[in-house]
Amino acid sequence: MKNKNIVLAVSAGIAAYKAVELLRMLMKEEAEVQIVLSANAGEFVTPLTFEALSRKPVYHQLFNLESSADMKHIRIAENADLMLVAPATASTLGKMANGLADDALSNLYLAFKGPVMIAPAMNEGMWRNLAVKENIEKLKSRGVKFIEPEEGELACKTNGPGRLANLDTILERVNSHFKQFHDLHGLRILVTAGPTHEPLDPVRFISNPSSGKMGYAVAEQAKARGAEVVLISGPTHLKPPTGVDFKACKTAGEMNNLVQQCFPQCDVLVMSAAVGDFTAEKLEKEKIKKRGKEGQTLNLVPTKDILMEVSKIKTQQFVVGFAAETQNLIQSALEKLRSKRLDLIVANDISAPGIGFQSDNNQVTLVDSNEQVENLPRMAKQEIANILLDKILSGAREK
């Protein structure tokens, strides 16, 4: 953890005293630790204790002349490699899940763009409360990692789940987060994302509802794990992850040209874009006019099949395709895998509710080049991205 900037965020639970020991453990690992306290955490452990041990000013007051002038929540967020919330109270979890920002901790969380880990601790009744469960699910679906509480005797003298995870477990999770951090160093990964727009006239186009979230998640996680990343994206509302070489395009033809240019320099291609299969045979120069009740016939021609084009120039690269289908999912995925010389295909049934296009979650099936089929449970696209990157890493190494 040497030179890693960790924000240790402490909220107002009885386990706050354990955060003092956690701070010492992180510092022993040579991490740079910045303490942030929630509004009420100081009721349990004083800022002075944390300040003396961390040897840094503790950030605990949102409205403070010194820290406000410096926009402290923004400054700390800019420099941190990881935000670890331990212990996280039910109240702090609720704020984080719902975008509320009324104290130092919750403001910092909203401003922070990097990885977040949460170790909750609370009474077992609170832990089982549906509102708390829903907040946790929301945060998980956005890629926040949880270090689950343990079962045992709680401060309120009841038994059950809710006790802060063992400090060694928390330390181990933080350690493995940073170990994983640069495991893709040296790999050049090309990712495509989003839909394409195939114009019909100056104002209309054919497209699909792809949000680009899956591809952006792959690009973001690959970058975080040390890869050199090129992201080619069709039109989306997403902000490109920092540090990736971003190339925007609109049509399938433009995307194909960019992929052809970038592919030879890359080790891996993750083709998660939902590329349009058809484009207008003739692009009208003027807006097509509506003529009373008369219909309009559009002649469509197939677009370039980017993965087929790639298969012709593929050498040592590891190529991952996506198959979004509404029927015969595995059969279609297998056909695509074979015909396009893919190393891995990610198949998803886009007719299932709550997953696929637009959603933060997905439920996919992976099929590798040995035609081994692996069904993954429903999970956040960020988590799927990491599983994919694990597979890519071992596959690309074998090549």
Ligand X SMILES: Cc1cc2nc3c(=O)[nH]c(=O)nc-3n(C[C@H](O)[C@H](O)[C@H](O)COP(=O)(O)O)c2cc1C
Q: Which residues are catalytic?
A: 156
For ligand X, the closer of residues 128 and 282 by Cβ is: 128
**d(Cα 112, Cα 54) in Å, to the nearest integer?**
21
Kind plus residue range of the DSSP H or E element containing 7: strand 5-10
**AA identity, residue 229:** V
Q: Which residues bind ligand X (CB under 6 A)?
A: 11-15, 38-41, 89-92, 121-122, 126
For ligand X, the closer of residues 15 and 271 by Cβ is: 15
For ligand X, the closer of residues 12 and 319 by Cβ is: 12
Six-digit token string for 120: 């909750």
CB of 121 to ligand X, least distance (A): 5
For ligand X, the closer of residues 31 and 121 by Cβ is: 121
CB of 163 to ligand X, least distance (A): 9
Picking from 159, 142, 141, the residue whose alpha carbon sits closest to that of residue 150 is 159
DSSP 257-299: HHHHHHGGG-SEEEE--B--SEEESS--SSPPPP-TT------
End-to-end Cα separation, the chain, in angstroms: 31
Cα–Cα distances (Å) from 71 to 59, 236, 288, 290, in that order, read: 11, 31, 52, 54
Strands 361-362 and 32-37: unpaired
Torsions phi, psi for 196 (to 5 deg): -115, 155
3-state secondary structure 364-399: EEEEECCCCEEECCCEEHHHHHHHHHHHHHHHHHHC
CB of 50 to ligand X, least distance (A): 14
**d(Cα 255, Cα 277) in Å, to the nearest integer?**
12
CB of 116 to ligand X, least distance (A): 16
For ligand X, the closer of residues 91 and 233 by Cβ is: 91
Cα–Cα distances (Å) from 2 to 6, 33, 212, in that order, read: 11, 11, 35
Six-digit token string for 43: 């009721």
**d(Cα 49, Cα 173) in Å, to the nearest integer?**
25
Torsions phi, psi for 390 (to 5 deg): -60, -45
CB of 53 to ligand X, least distance (A): 20
CB of 156 to ligand X, least distance (A): 8
For ligand X, the closer of residues 48 and 288 by Cβ is: 48
CB of 363 to ligand X, least distance (A): 31
Name the DSSP class of 303: P
For ligand X, the closer of residues 35 and 319 by Cβ is: 35
